[in-house]
Amino acid sequence: MDLNYTPQEQAFRDEVRAFVRSRLPQEISRKVLEHKRLEKEDHVRWQKILYEQGWIAPGWPVEYGGTGWNPVQRHILEEECAEAGAPPVMAFGVYMVGPVIIAFGNAWQKQQYLPRILSSDDWWCQGYSEPGAGSDLASLKTRAERQGDHYIVNGQKTWTTLAQYADMIFCLVRTSNTGKKQEGISFLLIDMRTPGITVRPIITLEGGHEVNEVWFENVKVPVQNLVGEEGRGWTCAKFLLSHERTGIAGVARSKRELRLLKYIASQEKKNGRPLLQDSRFRDKVARVEIDLMALEITNLRVLAADREGRPPGPEASILKIKGTEIQQALTELMMDAVGSYALPHLPAAWSNHWLGERVGPEYAAPLAARYFNYRKVSIYGGSNEIQRNIISQMILGL
């Protein structure tokens, strides 16, 4: 595969770069580049800018609002947005449930939901994991019983990211207990404002409210919100997870974070010299950079397969494993570089002063919280151990 950009692709990069630099709000960019917490409004504001430009869903078919771009163009947009400090487009709508509705939904569902996903008028969350049904997702117990033209849903979902903001949730529910456990699962679209839904926060180790428990108690869901056939939701689930795992790789964001790591290591000192001149630390950085280069090539291969209409195969699992390992390694090396300056997660550290005395460089303050938060990336979307099982089955036939 030739990874050199053609003159046309370079011209496209220049166009994208000019757009992002001129339209991305600086206050949002600073939050991203300084690892500050983003609010829902930050994401929605940027997504609406992309929507007005027609660039919010470059991977969708043109007839549903996509751009018609090839995989290289989509990769260029992702790189330029990451480099400039743009918030990632929230995956649950554009990259997850949207493609499922396009592939398996009926005409009403496409007309009802796809435009609102594109415009960010609906904020989606994912109802997959449950207590006792995480990596073994097919063991889920949330039940939907059909009563006339509605399903009655009862059960619990957990680790539901940003459910506190969501208008809609796409859920895997059990509609049958006969046959294989995968055969009794259906895919429902549920309005989060429906009576009987309760969202309870889960405060994570770094002090953030990013994930939640979602409880369903006799929640009425119209049958028209069933995607695909009843009992065939596992097909939708696998399709969605393959796209989720590809996105989790985060190649463009990791390239940006690698540049930040090198900058930090050039500022921090060891034995009077920049840390980046220390051979052992420089070797660790080089290993991560080499892994990231290999990951980018794999990512381009997956994009090329997608262009030809082939869904991601075991490559999606490879991207998920290596992508998350690289993300975690970057956070670890940043912590190593700044040492004790990353330790305090205090308001004073964010302002860079404590009783008038400097507590360390500004870039150090958010690193501990980021390190703790990134412990999860090797678990969600299917743990890396499960991904290795998938690779062994699909490639080695084990």
Positions marked active-site = 244
Question: How far is residue 387's CA from residue 378's CA, in Å, rounded to a whole number?
Answer: 10
Question: How far is residue 142's CA from residue 240's CA, in Å, rounded to a whole number?
Answer: 19
* Strand 124-127 relative to strand 168-174, pairing: parallel
- The owner of tokens 């309760």 is 198
Question: How far is residue 197's CA from residue 331's CA, in Å, rounded to a whole number?
Answer: 36
Question: How far is residue 332's CA from residue 191's CA, in Å, rounded to a whole number?
Answer: 39
What the block records as the tokens of 53 is 């430009």
CA atoms within 13 A on the CB side of 198: 9
Q: Note the helical H segments in 96-183.
A: 98-104, 107-118
- Return the HEC string of 146-164: EECCEEEEEEEECCCCCHH
Question: How far is residue 25's CA from residue 13's CA, in Å, rounded to a whole number?
Answer: 20
Ramachandran area for residue 71 (φ above 0: left; ψ -120 to 50: alpha; else beta): alpha
> Radius of gyration of the chain from Cα atoms?
22
- The residues, any chain, with a CB within 8 Å of residue 10's CB and separated by 6 or more, are none
DSSP 353: E
Beta bridge partners of 292: none
> Quick check: helix, strand or coil at residue 175?
coil
- The owner of tokens 């000019």 is 18
What the block records as the tokens of 270 is 């060891």
**Alpha-carbon separation of residue 310 from 75, 294, 366, 382 (angstroms):** 17, 21, 40, 21
> Quick check: helix, strand or coil at residue 3?
coil
DSSP codes, 191-232: ETTSTTEEEEEEE-TTS-EEEEEEEEEEEEEEGGGEESSTTB
Nearest alpha-carbon partner for 247 in 127, 65, 382: 382
